[in-house]
Amino acid sequence: MTAKPAFASAAAAGRCWLETLQAGEPITFRTITVLPLKAVQPVDPPWLLLNETLTAASVEVQEISDQGAVPTIQVTNRGDRDVLLLDGEELVGAKQNRILNTTVFVRAHSMLVVPVSCVEQGRWRYETRRFSPSAHSLYASLRRKKAAWVHASLRQSGSHESDQVRIWGELREKAAALSVKSSAMRGAFTSRASDLDEYTHALVARPDQVGALVYNGAAWWGMDVLPSPRLFAEAWPRLLSGYVMDALCRPPDSRSSEACLEPLRALLDAPVETFPGIGAGEDCRFSGPAVRGAALVVDGVVAHAMAFPTTRPEPIESP
């Protein structure tokens, strides 16, 4: 897709801000090492994250109709503040639990139809009329694959679609690895609640932290960055949960941890394509030989950047 000038400037602004990030002291618990990222010039836009607004009832998330549709849901923001929905975060209830296919920005007093994927195969009936927030996010390894599927969809059709069949298959494999009978993502997280609590407590966000590079031993697993310590601290437990569930299913890398900023540098060097974001902003998709990622840039601010290694490349087809 050919970038329009506004999109090109959004990608440049995002890169410039990401280049300023600095590393704190690594934090290790069991198999996971987190390298905190700090911003020289953090920004704190007056945005809220989705779980804050659902608790306060200023935002409603529901099926797009009484009949519903698996790949889409409806988000209505009746509040006075813009709301950020993060790639991979889980919503529970309605006709089946879903995760977000991409990071979405919902302006105050607006309604959006949002692309999602099902993480609860088999149920298609109402448990509640509205979705509720979850404490969990999609497994980081599956977020990596989903990012490639969504990038391919953007190139081919301009839509943020994932591969639903493959997501269900990945969830079944994860359930088997965790010895969980239910293939619903929520069941796996519930079965390991005590482990999740321990990791969350040990790897809590530092006061000035805006992002994290996550390692398993010397193996880099992923990165998530938000614009301010406030937003990162609110989002981090959910994002971390996806990394923890991967850690519980894999043996740790036998090499010693050497957490460094090299994955961030690789992201900054990767080619970027830009597409319209859902709701607002520009969706910048990075794809290089060693790293793949995405950044939603809204009003010149990096709302959420994520990146993953391409150790097992997922193909991105040309349009």
Neighbouring C-beta atoms of residue 207, cutoff 10 Å: 7
Q: Give the tokens for residue 137.
A: 């996010």
**Radius of gyration from C-alpha coordinates of the chain:** 18
User: Which residues have a Cβ under 8 Å from the Cβ of 158 and sit 6 or more positions away?
Assistant: 1, 275, 276
Handedness of CA 242, 245, 270, 317 (dihedral sign): negative
Whole-model pTM: value is 0.92
Query: What pLDDT score was predicted for residue 42?
Result: 79
Whether 53 contacts 132, CB under 8 Å = no
Query: What pLDDT score was predicted for residue 257?
Result: 62
Query: What pLDDT score was predicted for residue 203?
Result: 98
Whether 183 contacts 169, CB under 8 Å = no
- The candidate with the shortest Cα–Cα distance to 239, out of 128, 118, 100, is 100
Per-residue pLDDT of 41-75, as tens digits, reads 878 999 999 988 877 789 999 999 999 999 999 99
Q: Using CA atoms, how far apart are residues 118 and 72, in angstroms rounded to an integer?
A: 10
Fill in the amino acid letter for 220.
Answer: W
What φ, ψ does residue 119 adopt, rounded to 5°?
A: -125, 30
Q: Which helix (H) or strand (E) holds 277?
A: none
- The candidate with the shortest Cα–Cα distance to 104, out of 285, 279, 291, 275, is 279
Whether 139 contacts 174, CB under 8 Å = yes
Per-residue pLDDT of 142-194, as tens digits, reads 999 999 999 999 999 999 999 999 999 999 999 998 888 887 899 999 999 99
pLDDT tens track, the chain, 319 positions: 334 444 557 778 888 889 999 999 999 999 899 999 999 887 899 999 998 887 778 999 999 999 999 999 999 999 999 999 999 999 999 999 999 999 999 999 999 999 999 999 989 999 999 999 999 999 999 999 999 999 999 999 999 999 999 999 999 999 998 888 887 899 999 999 999 999 999 999 999 999 999 999 888 999 999 999 999 999 999 999 999 999 998 776 666 667 899 999 999 999 999 999 999 999 999 999 999 999 999 999 999 999 999 865 444 443 3
